[in-house]
Each structure stands twice: as C-alpha cells, then as structure tokens.
Chain A
Amino acid sequence: MNATLTLTKLDVLRVRRNTRYLILAIAMPAVLYIAVGNSTKQTSGVEFKAYYMLAMATYGAFAGALMNNAARISTERKTGWTRQLQLTPLPGGGYVFSKIVASLVTTIPSVVVVFVLGGTVFHVHMDAWKWVVIALVLWLTSMVFVSLAVAIGYRFDPDATQPAVMLVFFPMAILGGLWFPLEGTLEKIGKWFPTYQAHKLGTDIISTGRISMESVGIIAGWAVVFAALAVVSYRSAQEQ
C-alpha cells in the first residue's frame, strides 16, 4: 500500500506540472465561463450564470479525468513504463489505482476554480451545503470517465487515443448541454448521457434541493458499462 501511495503522489505531482492539463481542464473552462456566463437569463429552472458554472465545472472535471488519463495510460504502455513497473514489487493493480486516485485529486481544482468564479465574479447564491454537495457529486461522477480512460488507454496506441477520446467525449459534452443549453430533440437524446445527468443533478440541487433517482440511475448505468470495458481492455492488454 505504501508503494502504491508513493506512486500516486508522484502521479499527482506530474499532472500538476503538465501545462496541457492545466489549460485543458482548469484554465479553459474558467475562461469560457467568464466569457459566456454573464447573463441574467433563466435556464433549466436556474439562473444562466449558475447553469453555465455547473456546465463548465462538469466539463473541466470530466475532460481532465478522461483525456489526461487515457493519453497517459496509452503513452506509458507504449514507452514501456508500465512494463518497468511490472518489474518492481508494486502490487498488480497499483498502477491503475494510482491513476484513479491521482485523477480524483487533480479534478478538484477544475470544480473549485469555476465555483469560486461563480460565487465571486457572477454572484451565484445558494446555501453553503448545496455548494459542497454539488461539488462532491461532480467530483465523484468524474470517476465514470476515469473508467472510460482506462478502457481507451489500454485499448489504443497513443496515436489513436486522442481521436478516440474526442469522438466519444465531444458528442457527450454537447449532448450533455455543457456547451449550450439544449432544447427539443437534442435534449431528448442528451438526457441519456452521463454528462447531461451529472449537470442536471447540480441544477436540481440548486432549484429543488433534491437528487433525481433517474439521474443517478443513468449515471450508474454508464459507470457499469465503462467499468466493464475498462476491465476487458485491461485484461486483454495484460495477456499480450
């Protein structure tokens, strides 16, 4: 366990040193929020500035969890780093464990930065417990995308990983209403995606203080599917 934690700490440090990650998962959502969020409209039962705050926090957390981990796992398999680790007393699942925990740690600033902007620059108001619960929900839901990252990273070469991630994540982000609010048919399709439902958990908590079981169910369904894909990819990679 000690060995695994040491690897995890170093993995966190590496992500923090990675400029691409800081831009993609923290700076970009924050800048977009400042650029787009200034509006007095109402959307999905909440103020637009709150809607977009949740959208950008969700986007940053999920993009960070998925893109960063998929690229790293794929590259580290290619360069032989994972083989190198296999020649140490590190327990078998230690590598993936460290990626998951490191991802949970590095996702926090994506949510916090956008929330702080919302609270200070845009004066989004809600009860203190709602801030905390929404942040926790988004944070934990990002795990779903870590599983997907493991599934992709263990399946594809580094060259193919980037397109694979884009192909999966951008439709999910758009149909999840993370870039702009959805209406009509798009929303009917979008509501089946975990991005949409994670964001909706947030707007529901702000407007009603409740969590919808439908949202939780749909996210859990995706979590199971991605985790199963992750296990399949991981196993087939180990057998090579």
Chain B
Amino acid sequence: MSPDTRTPNGAVVEFENVSKTFASPKGPVHAVNGLSMSMQAGQTIAFLGPNGAGKSTSLNMLLGLSRPDSGRVALFGGSASDAIKRGMVGAMLQSGGLMSEVTVREQVQLWAKLHPRPIPVAEALKRANIADLADRRVDKLSGGQQQRVQFAMAIIGDSPLIVLDEPTTGMDVENRQAFWATMRERALEGKTVLFATHYLDEADQFAERVIVINKGRLLADGTAAQIKASAGAKRLSFRLPGVADADLYRLPNLVHVERQADVVRLQTSDSDATLYALLDAGYRPADIEIQALGLEQAFLAITAEDNNHGAGAGAGTGIGNLEAAR
C-alpha cells in the first residue's frame, strides 16, 4: 500500500457523530443516531447488530451510497466517492445485483477493467472458488454461486479496504470455509476487512475486532474475548427441585433465566456471585455447571440489556430481532 492511502493516524474509516433519519408512516426512524467509530488499516472487523440496528444504513453511508443527515464519514481521510474512484474499496453488498446475459468470466473481467490495479481474472475466479463456473451465465446461477461471483468482484481490484455485507449468506459449509481462508490471506496482506454478518461464530473466529451497534448507536467495541467478558457471558446451570421462581429472580448479576422443570439455566455476568447467593439462600443445587458462552450469547445479552434499558424504543428484544433475521 502506498503511503498516500492512509491518513496520518492510519484511520481507514471514520464516523464522527453520524446520524441518519428516515421518514416512515409511524414517524421518523433514527436508523443511525450519533454513531462514532474509527477503523485502522490492516484490521479485520466484524460489524454486528440486530436487524434494524442501522448496519446497512451505516455501510451505505460508509460507501457513499447515501449521505448522513449530520456528522462526518470519511474513507482514507477523504470522501467515499473519492476513495472509490481511486480503486481503494472492494465491496460486496447484499443489495448488489449482477448483470444479465453475461458469463461469470465476462462479469469479473468487467470489474478487472473498471479497477486501476486488478489481480488476474483467473486468480480472482480461483480464490472465489468459481473457476469451474467461468463460462456459465451469471443469471442462471444459484444464490450461493452468485454470492461467490460477488466475492470475486470484491477482491479483484486488490483494494486496501474490503467491505462485505453478509458475505456468506447462501453459501454451503465448504464454500464458507474457502471464503474465510481467502479473506484471512487478504488480511495478512495488510488489507482492512470490514464485514457484517449474522453468523456470529464467523465473527468470533475471524475478526480481530468486533463492533456491535444497536438502535443506531455504538454498543460495544473490542475483541471478541473482551465483548464476551463485558457481557458477563457465563452460563450457570444446575438441578434444583422445588426452587421458587421468585428466589431465582432475586439472585444478583442475572442476565437471563431459563427453567425446564427441575433444571435451571442462568446467564450471569458474575457466575461466582450468583452461585454464592444461591448457596447463601440455603439452596443446595445438584449437577452444577459453569460454562463460558460464545459471542452469539454475549451479543444477545448485551443487545437485550440495551433494549430493556432504552426507554420507549419498542423495537422488541435483541433475541427476537436476531431470530427474525434467520
């Protein structure tokens, strides 16, 4: 990467107090509400949030497809359209279409011609695992295959910033693995990779940094481990016949309570404190298990907590939203 592609502090993406509001029949919707974040060159970042959290709106503003009502969005220290004109951005959008009546090779070749420093077409096809589809018509492919064509288009420009919106939706397991292997190589080359996904295990495995937004605001920003820790994502489960619900709900540090007959599963931000309180209350549970939770549960915990605290948001729980997205 040439030095002029970075701003002095190395920020590739900057959001400064960005807001965007849409009109709707039920009144204005604050899709993005004072969002500030900054992404450094060479980072691999997962961009997470429940449906309606403002992810797509943020990505659209990041790519210059829509303008913020207020605040500042910068790519490589300048405007998005400027960065795109210089071939600095390779993007794969959910809402991005493909040409009709052309073959995969023609489609990818066009992208190579449109970018100033393309990698060879054959190489892009190989990396996206579509070399065998090169002579097929794009409009005759399955959704997962088209997704891989989009992927080839996102990487062919050899751009220092790669933006991926739900990149693996519709891909089978084998192609998802191939996809992330290729992305890992791009990251090792020093490229900045920003991806939004609903598969939280992908974010957990692949991202060095996880940004969670909810209701248009930044909710959490850190490594997957930090977010799991901050969410207090531990599951405490035990068997305890005859325990009163009221006693369970009185326990400290609870995030979530689940009960099936004698078996109780608690999600807690401090498993030690919760357990001691239970024992202090005179209970003697059996089969105690304490388990660290994955990013998915951490994500659900922090968005649910945020939604419960947010007055009058009325957007339902994070759990409901995430389930609806599937």
B101 adjacent to A17 (CB under 8 Å): yes
C-alpha gap A18/B99 in the complex (Å): 13
A174 beta carbon closer than 8 Å to chain B: no
A89 beta carbon closer than 8 Å to chain B: yes
Nearest CB of chain A from residue B325's CB, rounded to whole Å: 19
A120 beta carbon closer than 8 Å to chain B: no
Which B residues are in CB contact (< 8 Å) with A7? Answer: 110, 114
Nearest CB of chain B from residue A224's CB, rounded to whole Å: 30
A-contacting residues, B109-137, CB 8 Å: 110-111, 113-116
B95 adjacent to A83 (CB under 8 Å): yes
The residue of chain A having its C-beta at the shortest distance from the C-beta of B98 within the complex is A81
CB-CB under 8 A for A6 and B99, given A83-B65, A83-B93: no
C-alpha gap A83/B85 in the complex (Å): 14
Which A residues are in CB contact (< 8 Å) with B84? Answer: 86-89
B86 adjacent to A87 (CB under 8 Å): no
B102 adjacent to A86 (CB under 8 Å): no
Nearest CB of chain B from residue A94's CB, rounded to whole Å: 9
Nearest CB of chain B from residue A15's CB, rounded to whole Å: 8
B97 beta carbon closer than 8 Å to chain A: yes
A10 adjacent to B97 (CB under 8 Å): no
B-contacting residues, A58-102, CB 8 Å: 75-76, 78-84, 86-90
C-alpha gap A17/B115 in the complex (Å): 26
Q: State which of A6, A18, A79, A83 has its C-beta within 8 Å of the C-beta of B114.
A: A6
A13 beta carbon closer than 8 Å to chain B: yes
C-alpha gap A60/B95 in the complex (Å): 35
Which A residues are in CB contact (< 8 Å) with B91? Answer: 87
B296 beta carbon closer than 8 Å to chain A: no
A3 beta carbon closer than 8 Å to chain B: yes
19 other A-B residue contacts (CB within 8 Å) besides A10-B106, A83-B96, A90-B114: A2-B113, A3-B114, A6-B110, A7-B110, A10-B99, A10-B102, A13-B101, A14-B99, A75-B100, A78-B97, A80-B96, A80-B97, A84-B98, A86-B65, A87-B84, A88-B115, A88-B157, A89-B84, A89-B87
